[in-house]
Chains A and B, each alone.
Chain A
Amino acid sequence: MIRSIKVAAVSLGLALGGAGCGSFLTGEKLSSDPNQPSSATRDQLFVGVQANLFSSQENSVAMTLCMWMQQCAGVGGRFVDQYSHYVIDEFSWDGNWFNVYTGGGLIDLRKIEASARADGDSVYLAIAKIWEAFDIGTAADLWGDIPYTDAVGSSATPTLDAQASVYDSVQALLSQAIVELGGPGGGPGPQDLVYGGDKAKWIAAANTLKARYYLHTVEGAANKAAVYGNAITAASAGIGASAGDLKTFHTSATSERNIWYQFQLTTFGQDVVAGKFLVDLMKARSDPRLPQYYGKNKGGGYGGQDMNVPQPSDSISAIKGAGRNVPDFRQPLVTYQENELILAEAYNQTGNDPVALTHLNNARAVAPLPALVAITGPALLDSIMIEKYVALFQNIEVWSDYRRTCVPALVPYRTANGANPIWRDKIPGRLYYGGTEGNVNSNIPTTSQQLATNGFRNPNDPADCP
């Protein structure tokens, strides 16, 4: 009996003492996550950043704007169809807002830049800055005033920077990058999925981007000629051949495929179909790119959906063009054609129509389309913008061009009775801020305030389209 008590007491003491040292609660798989890496190198982050920025340019926003720009249309009665009918809310592009700032966005670009700076790799730093400019420049295009100087820092509720100042920052980043590309450092090399580390191509692309973002400020500019002049300067050093196009990167591997292609494989993706406006336009132009952009309809021809006048479903083409609907299609983001058309517009707007026409025809030659002759003035501008509208199919830049030039003359979606009280029969001029940001960040105006401000348009878009 006594012995048993002793045994029990000793066991109890052992159990209590043995566990009491604390090591039971810490250690491998207890103190840190065994499932995810806890550190990442600059190269790993850089590959991830590119994957994020590629998909951001191909997913929901691109799909929606393709529909709003009537290059595409939405059917099927589900979210794609609703987006095409401007039935949108603050969560429609919440994920795209995340992609600007969170992993793969600004936070990782800053980490890459810090690391490149620390290692004295000026080339790596420059390329990261170009991506940063593209990332936040796109965000300013979509949302106008956005958190930038305060973002990804210590503030839990970053304040909004005026859209104009964000564009100024974009220009500054690009200018620095162009200089730094001439500096020391090995750069990302093969981790660079676009140009494989080719510095000259990056310098050209940075110049074309500069030109693009100059144009984004021209509509409200006091001195438009100066802005166009800046655009000409930049674009003159821009992408000089299609081989220099800045394109996304994809392979046929499941998780590396083009998002447009992936989406077309799904039941929701089939809800995005050809838009009647662009199909009809390309048919009228006998545009050779029609079969690259769209699949054939049931009758073996091409047709699109009109959001106001439902078309027979057998007449509508899918977004399954032979040229683009392949898993490894590299979506053009910033191209030689855009560069030429920026030059064409800028020369046209600064009174130099012959040079403008040359640049327009340079762009048309890529299609290929025959050269145009003897067009001047507003008719030339219209031709340039129409050319850009066709050439930049699926590129969200089309929407930026439309908002400032109102070309082409699209008829916005109107409900059957002509009543569309929230949208006033207009194509929405910006996106709602992401709902998550609005939930947490009190600097974000409410959805109603956003609707009530400047006709739901960004500051760089003072004038409404008809």
Chain B
Amino acid sequence: MRVRCRRFVPVLFAALCASPLRLGAQQPVTITGRVTSDAGVPLGTVEVTIPAMGLGTLTRDDGRYAFLVPGARVSGQTVTLTARRLGYKAQSAQITLTAGGLAHDFTLAPNPLQLGEVVVTGAGTATATEKLGNVRNTVSAEQIDKSNETNIVEALAAKAPNVQVTGQSGDPGASSFIQIRGIRTVVGNNQPLFIVDGVPIDNSATSTSSFNPVDGGYPGEGTVVTNRAADLNPNDIESLEILKGAAAGAIYGARAGQGVVLITTKSGRAGATHFSLRSSASFDDVSHVWELQTKYGQGSLRVHADTSVGGSCDNIGAGICRRSWGPPIPAGAAVFDHARELYTTGHVIENAMTVSGGNDRTTFYLSGENLDNNGFFVGDNDRYNRTTVRVKGSHRPSEQLKINANLSYADTRGHYTQRGNNVNGVQIPVMRTPPDFNNLPYLDPINQLHRSYRFQHPKATDLVADRGFDNPFYDIYEQRNLGNVGRIFGNIGAEYLATSWLKFNYTLGADYSNDERLEGCPISSSDVCFSGRVIEGKIVTYQIDHNLTGTVNYTISPRASGTVTLGQNLNSENHRNLFQVGRTLVAPTPFKLSNTVLRDPSLDNETVIHRESYFGQATLDLFDQLYLVASLRNDGFSNFGRLSRRAWFPKGSAAWTFTKAIGERPWLTFGKVRVAYGEAGTEPPPYVTTPTFFSGIFGGIAQGTGVTPTQNGLGGLLTGGQKPADVLRPERSKEFEAGVDVGLFRDRADASLTVYSSTTSDVILSTPLAPSTGYSNQYTNAAKFRNRGAEASLNVRPLQKPEYGWEVGLQWARNRGYVLTLNGPQYIFFGDGVAQVGQEIGVHRSLGFIRCGISDTSLVAGLAAACVGQPAGALYIDATGFPVGDPKARIVSNPNPRWTGSVRTALRYHKLQLSGLLDIRHGGVVANGSKGALWSYGTHKDTEHRAICTSAGCVADPNDPLSVRTFGRGGWYDGPVAGPGAGTAVPIGQNWYNGNLAPCPFTGYDEACLDDDGYVKLRELSVTYTLDAPWVQSSLGLGSIDIRVSGRNLHTWTKWPGFDPETSGGGSTDAIQGSEYFGNPQSRSFVFTITLNR
């Protein structure tokens, strides 16, 4: 290893110093030319090479290229000159190298089906597009660029069918969750494996709150989290392949059960040094706000709370001050817009540069990026800054050996805002503030102490006093929530061509990050942050990955050839989390543990996983039209159960280009059918097979309470609730996939259809045990899931002329995942959902209303009689005209979308391009906890229509017909109703919204507040103009200038009544998306980008 490192430095040095225009000793040949599309448009980044000599370059954006063949290698020979670019059919020409200059122009025809292009298929294997037995989903650098997303995962939204991306929120640095073909597992957070240049990288997301079990410990309670793939500079990515499902991902065995994302970074190429400088500025605002009522003031039962100095609202215990059920706010009195007051225009400034080039032996690629994102909250404390550098180089010391190195450093600094289920977060305080309370100034004008609506006039002695809820501005301006990451990742490697038919490939990859966290609540905070709180922590991860493959090319006859690849992979993955919570600040600043009085028990958690795998793959190409692939992987992981340390994962696929057999037709220029079968797995969490004893916090009632087994200085322990697993196998998905890809009407259109069926057996679950056995849970291979679905895409290019062109792409997908079997319990909670036999995976189990045919008739006298003749599911209405809660929990909603789709279009007119992307998620119903809570607090817009509720009871507001409702009709829980009160109009006000059923997060009756979170979203709209006129070259010395104006997330059409439906409480730490409880809003952006190319 040390030898390689020493050699690496001079290689890199050589790469950096090598002059790309080094002159040969004798009579060099300069080859120049221009590449255009068959529509006449100049094509940049076309690779023009003499493959036999390893020489070549890339065209500039004006389509021109030039490179030099050193004189020493010129002997008047005839060589093949090739031009290739993604999306175009490659062209070759024979040229004869003679002294002096030589010119050759190319005209490339589009290749929408990308036939002949090389696709990486993982673990060092690659193939040509038409030979693939799986559906292919590629995301190009251009698509990533146009998304204007800073997080590479979010950039994948709406790019491929059945690849569902959900952003946590619009906060700077917020994580994004990616789910491929439905929920396949419930272990961990259900994310695919990310591989960059052949090396797995960490894409974990860790909430600081997870390390504070005393105060709750749920990621939905602290700040947003960042998923570590966000440390990638999107500008470095050349292409990205999504391997969907087991059939495609089997080569990655036990880690590919949720799919694999293969990322290839850009490389330098021989030829002129290419410079690019990209600068973009974005203006971000909140896409949707929660609409709040502005008519009724602070109080209860139409009595206004006493907000005078020393009044009720200087006592956080006073219930009357908590909510907005007071009398109407008098005309002319001040009303404050709590829905919008926290937000301003945020910015993203990004500058990125790349320099790349090389010569026949050595190539290099250098890039740097600085991104500064100041979020949409007022003030300067929601920021995300990322600086990345990448150095990539290769050198060919001999004709057989190529060595390469690729290292990236990322420095990311996040300043986050607390939100979620958290009264020290901004959203609960701001949206519950009565409309007649001004949150500003957030410090008392006289004594400069924190004031909030439940504690309006702090006295000078109230520096340390609970405010009930914090003032949201106090949190925004005075808290410090930091996540500072230093990360280095990359690889060194070698390719060795032992003979013409045998090639070795070696990669040694590394990924190290140190994430330093701080959460500092100031001294006048409320609740769990009472008297100030400091959490300091470190998350350290490091991973080494060794991958060695040998590939044999064989040819049996001209009609039968193929490859055989054998490989070995070793991997060591280490995570360490060290956290300490300190309470009660000594002095108001600094936020340092050393400045706190009390400390919680510290948290120190480490995991080490070793993996040792062998794999092989064989391909056979028959008659240039039938392509067969078989592969097998054997994984041995340290986290598998003791009794089953190794596991096999096979795969096989076949693709038949039937148009080669039946011949092309004018309307059918290409046709391929494909079938694939594969098995892939999900590894168990580590350390679930050994007994442990527990020393942490337990036994509390709510956040901020609990004790340890250690008391009075005497060490105490408890038997761990988790029973050691006896035998634990990796979870296994067996997937069958079949599809057809066609090119139609001379490439004017292409279409693809794929169907798949995947059965996941041995699903690893933290299975609940009967507590009366002495244990709470045990990891077991407990369930079988099945996901079935279909994916279709259609791309049409109706207009393709030199001056203009238009294309449209449609994608559609559906997935249905069911729980087939479950051993032991009736249902298992994971995230906000459950696995329950016969139900879709991840449905929501909660309490609902008593309904005919669903609820036990013993619950309410007369229920059986009332339901006679009523349809199943009719809502029981008791004599008072209201529904009744059913104490027996049941499945109340299904968050999985019914189908997803996208529409993409691009228009080109001369140098002007216009493109747009529409993202559709249809269906999916989620319990809207924020809505239920805001109902309870009387601040939700719905509560603007309210009956007059006083201590004497509730009566209709004569001026508001919507203050009276009839259950089952008129948009009020529509549907059949039964029972003595059916059809009775009842007053709806504080009695209902702040009652025992409607405010779902407090009552547990989630059926009362369900909402559809489907959407149609205009994700992207952009206009680009390319300036490549001769004067650009002559007076600016540039090849071209691209100017782009674009919009991101411009509009969302949805029935969801809150922030954008694309938000998620725990972000990418949640196995099921869509939980909603006072997360932060989404953003939309206008982005201006200018790119200079030379």
Do the two shown chains form a genuine complex with each other?
A: yes
| Residue ranges of A at the interface with B (Cβ–Cβ < 8 Å) | 1, 4-5, 8, 12, 15-16, 19, 22, 24-26, 29-40, 43-52, 54-56, 59-60, 63, 75-79, 81-82, 85, 87-91, 97-108, 110-111, 146-147, 150-153, 155-158, 190-191, 193, 249, 251, 253-257, 259, 262-263, 265-270, 273, 298, 310, 312-314, 316, 318, 415-417, 419, 421-422, 432, 434-437, 439-441, 446-449, 451-452
Q: How far is the CB of B1052 from chain A (nearest CB, A)?
A: 31
CB-based nearest B residue for A105: B774
Q: How far is the CB of A20 from chain B (nearest CB, A)?
A: 8
Which residues on the A side are within 8 Å of B600 (C-beta)?
254-255
> Is B136 in contact with chain A by the CB < 8 A criterion?
no
A-B contact list, 12 entries, CB within 8 Å:
A4-B496, A40-B719, A45-B717, A63-B701, A89-B889, A101-B774, A102-B775, A266-B527, A268-B701, A269-B705, A314-B315, A415-B880
Bound form: Cα–Cα A43–B687 in Å? 26
Q: How far is the CB of B591 from chain A (nearest CB, A)?
A: 18
Inter-subunit contact B498/A44 (CB<8 Å):
no
CB-based nearest A residue for B599: A254
Inter-subunit contact A440/B824 (CB<8 Å):
yes
Bound form: Cα–Cα A4–B504 in Å? 11
> Is B649 in contact with chain A by the CB < 8 A criterion?
no
A63, A85, A314: the one contacting B318 at CB < 8 Å is A314
> Which B residues, 769 to 813, have Cβ-Cβ distances below 8 Å to chain A?
769-776
Q: How far is the CB of A80 from chain B (nearest CB, A)?
A: 8
Q: How far is the CB of A25 from chain B (nearest CB, A)?
A: 5
Q: A25-B610, A25-B612, A158-B772 are in contact. Are A38 and B691 (CB under 8 A)?
A: yes
Inter-subunit contact A452/B858 (CB<8 Å):
yes
Inter-subunit contact B719/A103 (CB<8 Å):
yes
Inter-subunit contact B718/A108 (CB<8 Å):
yes
Q: How far is the CB of A149 from chain B (nearest CB, A)?
A: 11
> Is B693 in contact with chain A by the CB < 8 A criterion?
yes
Q: A24-B570, A36-B720, A43-B714 are in contact. Are A422 and B496 (CB under 8 A)?
A: no
Inter-subunit contact A314/B312 (CB<8 Å):
yes
Inter-subunit contact B712/A256 (CB<8 Å):
yes
User: Which of B17-25, B55-63, B601-609, B919-927 is the interface stretch?
Assistant: B601-609
The interface centre, meaning the residue of A60, A87, A273 with most chain B CB atoms within 10 A of its CB, is A87
Which residues on the B side are within 8 Å of A449 (C-beta)?
858
Bound form: Cα–Cα A416–B301 in Å? 14
Bound form: Cα–Cα A111–B721 in Å? 15
Inter-subunit contact A451/B773 (CB<8 Å):
no
A30, A89, A312: the one contacting B608 at CB < 8 Å is A30
Q: A19-B570, A259-B699 are in contact. Are A38 and B708 (CB under 8 A)?
A: no
Inter-subunit contact B312/A266 (CB<8 Å):
no
Inter-subunit contact A102/B771 (CB<8 Å):
yes
CB-based nearest B residue for A305: B319
| Besides A77-B936, A439-B827, 11 new A-B residue pairs in contact (Cβ under 8 A), listed by A number | A4-B496, A19-B612, A45-B716, A59-B699, A98-B721, A101-B774, A156-B824, A251-B711, A259-B705, A266-B527, A451-B887
> Which B residues, 714 to 736, have Cβ-Cβ distances below 8 Å to chain A?
714-721
Which residues on the B side are within 8 Å of A273 (C-beta)?
317
Inter-subunit contact B774/A106 (CB<8 Å):
yes
User: Which of B172-180, B229-237, B867-875, B996-1004 is the interface stretch?
Assistant: B996-1004
Which residues on the B side are within 8 Å of A55 (C-beta)?
698-700, 706-707
In the complex, the 5 A-B pairs of residues with the closest C-beta atoms, listed nearest first: A55-B699, A107-B774, A103-B718, A48-B709, A47-B716
Bound form: Cα–Cα A12–B1054 in Å? 57
Residue tally, chain B, CB below 8 Å to A:
123
Interface string of B632-643 (1 = CB under 8 A from A): 000011100010
Inter-subunit contact A51/B775 (CB<8 Å):
no
Inter-subunit contact A310/B951 (CB<8 Å):
yes
A46, A52, A77, A314: the one contacting B699 at CB < 8 Å is A52
Inter-subunit contact B716/A51 (CB<8 Å):
yes
> Is B257 in contact with chain A by the CB < 8 A criterion?
no
Q: A265-B466, A266-B704, A416-B991 are in contact. Are A29 and B1002 (CB under 8 A)?
A: no
Which residues on the A side are within 8 Å of B1047 (C-beta)?
none
Bound form: Cα–Cα A417–B881 in Å? 10
A1, A24, A105, A255: the one contacting B610 at CB < 8 Å is A24
Which residues on the A side are within 8 Å of B315 (C-beta)?
298, 314
Bound form: Cα–Cα A421–B856 in Å? 13
Inter-subunit contact A78/B1002 (CB<8 Å):
yes
Bound form: Cα–Cα A35–B604 in Å? 7
B469, B568, B687: the one contacting A32 at CB < 8 Å is B687
Which residues on the A side are within 8 Å of B999 (C-beta)?
77
Inter-subunit contact B770/A419 (CB<8 Å):
no
CB-based nearest B residue for A20: B612
Bound form: Cα–Cα A262–B885 in Å? 32
> Which B residues, 487 to 545, have Cβ-Cβ distances below 8 Å to chain A?
496, 498-499, 504, 526-528, 530
Inter-subunit contact A45/B718 (CB<8 Å):
yes
Q: How far is the CB of B778 from chain A (nearest CB, A)?
A: 10
Inter-subunit contact A256/B996 (CB<8 Å):
no
Bound form: Cα–Cα A432–B847 in Å? 14
Bound form: Cα–Cα A47–B599 in Å? 21
CB-based nearest A residue for B526: A267
Which residues on the A side are within 8 Å of B861 (C-beta)?
421
Inter-subunit contact A45/B719 (CB<8 Å):
yes
A45, A54, A266, A298: the one contacting B528 at CB < 8 Å is A266
Inter-subunit contact B991/A448 (CB<8 Å):
no
Inter-subunit contact A40/B708 (CB<8 Å):
no
Q: A47-B711, A100-B771, A447-B888 are in contact. Are A262 and B878 (CB under 8 A)?
A: no
A25, A51, A310: the one contacting B637 at CB < 8 Å is A25
Which residues on the B side are within 8 Å of A76 (C-beta)?
319, 322
